[in-house]
Amino acid sequence: MPTLTLITGGTRSGKSSLALDLALKGYSKRAFIATAAALDPEMKERISRHRKERGDRFQTVEEPLDLIRAVVDLPRDTEVVVVDCLTVWLGNLYHHSDTVESKVLALVEAFLGEVDKVPCDLILVTNEVGCGIVPDNALARSFRDTAGYLNRKLAEKAARVYLVCMGIPLTLKGQPPKTLPGGS
């Protein structure tokens, strides 16, 4: 039965490094679904840098909106897929639904309903956005609340949940990772 792993934490905390490390250990047929879109020069540079870091160790699919379709379309022999990141995906949903919260929630619910049907192990990367100040506008509060809801529902489904803080993965649910990112 496929395993769902959820990795959360703050910006630049080491979430993606842990996800890649987990996928590189024990799997030979790996996929990576990138949710970011190259909308400006800085983001294009980031995407390029991340592609180089992964090299040819992963089949990379760039899909900013339809994550389930992206997974279903992977080769049948795929053993693990890393999705990085759900917070960027959520921002894409808000952007493409004209920031209508009910549309975004419907898409989030659809994703939650399908995530259990993924035929391979799944490692999801997401940001913890609810530990800071309360945003000063309704859209930002809606985003924060929806991200918190998505993360909570995925954590309920996940066999393993890790919070990465300053590069240190803390096990919230399941077994600790066998190694730390970077071989530590």
31 is written with which tokens?
């996929």
Whether the bond between 120 and the residue before it is cis, its omega within 30 degrees of 0, is no
* Burial class of 61 by CB neighbour count within 10 A (0 to 12, 13 to 18, 19+): middle
Coil, strand, or helix at residue 95? helix
CA distance 149 to 155: 10
What angle, 0 to 180 degrees and rounded to 10, lies between the N-to-C axes of helices 86-96 and 138-157? 130
**Cβ-contact 35, 63 below 8 angstroms:** yes
Q: Is 95 left (phi over 0), alpha (psi -120 to 50) or beta?
A: alpha
Q: Which of 50, 144, 153, 157 is catalytic?
A: 50
Burial of 123 (0-12, 13-18, 19+ CB in 10 A): buried
User: Annotated catalytic, 50?
Assistant: yes
Residue positions annotated with a catalytic role? 50
